[in-house]
Homo-oligomer: A and B are copies of this chain.
């Protein structure tokens, strides 16, 4: 066994595209409870109240939906250099970009499905303006209690044509560990859950049922709340605000996360989740592999996985003729 890699510290932010910008922004701010920390051009920068960085979601006006890029923060400047070397060697590097309103220069590269990732060290810490200063100084921003009121960015989920190839990519490029996975009867991997730190996962990658028509598709973004009760309360808030609730609240069999999935107005899937006190502390965690038979039992308490969960991704795949 080689030593575990700690070069990548944590998931930093996602850039999400929307073709219904005003409605999506209203959803994320008023209903989901994020706070705007800045805007430029076609984008608004958003954050949950205890995210320590300037932003964790960049919402960008577009003629389509899906994820534009995903940013991870590294552990140190040296770690960034090490990762770039590995990625360049892998041949999937794109190159350096100057950074963004919320962070400094970043190195971009491509997943096997063409999703754009970036790694960065220099970041801009969120400094709460007077009206957003918390009463307890160990949280980044006041708990405003608006809408769902999520606490921090948790993870995201991508769709991939070949999960096994994606797994190799994540392990090599980011030094991610595979905490859980689904082994299909046909020999393919149905899904993989990865982490770079003690969270049980920061990204899930699942097989895109759209097959070859799929290209860099996005499944969902998730913010964490402190308690499962926050998710039950969120369900009422989504209901009253006319948000499409896709499935949940329920408890995932995989990872044991308590979940609720909705579609924001443009169709991007958004989750609210709570992992309880679960953490992956073992440095030599052994991947938990679920068989297809086991998965057919549904979620933890028997809820069947809803059909759209396998078919709906963003951007949508054009109907075939």
Contacts and interface: CB of A to CB of B under 8 A. Distances in A.
Interface of A: 1, 3-4, 6, 9-10, 50, 52, 73-76, 78-79, 134-139, 142-145, 147, 151-152, 154, 180, 197-199, 224-230, 232-233, 235-240, 242, 245-251, 253-256, 258, 260, 274-279, 281-283, 285, 288, 290, 300-303
B255 A4 contact: no
Contacts of A249: 249-250, 301
Nearest to A254: B138
Most-contacted residue by chain B among A52, A136, A245, A250 (CB, 10 A)? A136
27 contacts: A4-B6, A4-B75, A4-B76, A10-B282, A134-B240, A135-B240, A136-B253, A136-B300, A144-B240, A145-B233, A145-B237, A151-B278, A198-B279, A199-B279, A225-B277, A226-B276, A227-B276, A236-B301, A239-B300, A245-B302, A247-B302, A249-B250, A249-B301, A260-B301, A274-B277, A275-B277, A303-B303
Given A10-B198, A52-B282, A247-B302, 13 more contacts: A3-B75, A10-B283, A52-B281, A74-B283, A75-B283, A136-B300, A138-B255, A198-B198, A198-B199, A228-B232, A235-B301, A236-B251, A245-B302
